[in-house]
Amino acid sequence: MYELSIKGDMASAHFLRGYEGKCKNLHGHTWQIEVVIASRQLDRLGMVADFAILKKQLKEFLSSLDHMCLNELAYFKDVNPTTENIARYVYEQYAKMIHPLKIKHVQAWESSTSSVVYYE
């Protein structure tokens, strides 16, 4: 089994609905996102996938979230934009871009000391 890892970042704002702490107010993070892809097979060149293509796709995907208030996205109208839900959102949406490759997990850091891993 092979695991391929790529990383990207985005600067986005959010606020947590129903939360009784500082995070109930609008604030931002520079989110660090890591996507790990797992595969049992290699392509004809001996790669799981081309890093350059995957990084370009991840950058394109994350740019759609960059400098946004995540609460304004349709997905987060009913889902609180916690780090947990952001990791899940990236997992689900980025998986559509790289199909048929399979994501093992997505890790989202809201700071250098706080992160969440999402996997199915």
- Cα 84 from Cα 67, distance rounded (Å): 19
Tell me if residue 29 is catalytic.
no
- Nearby residues of 83 by Cβ (< 8 Å), 6 or more positions away: 108, 110, 114, 115, 116
| Active-site residue, from 27, 67, 72, 120 | 67
| Active-site residue, from 14, 29, 34, 110 | 110
| Active-site residue, from 3, 23, 27, 60 | 23
Tell me if residue 34 is catalytic.
no
Tell me if residue 23 is catalytic.
yes
Beta strands in the chain (DSSP E): 2-14, 27-39, 102-111, 114-118
- Cα 81 from Cα 63, distance rounded (Å): 17
Phi, psi (deg, nearest 5) at residue 4: -115, 135
Residues that are catalytic:
23, 67, 110
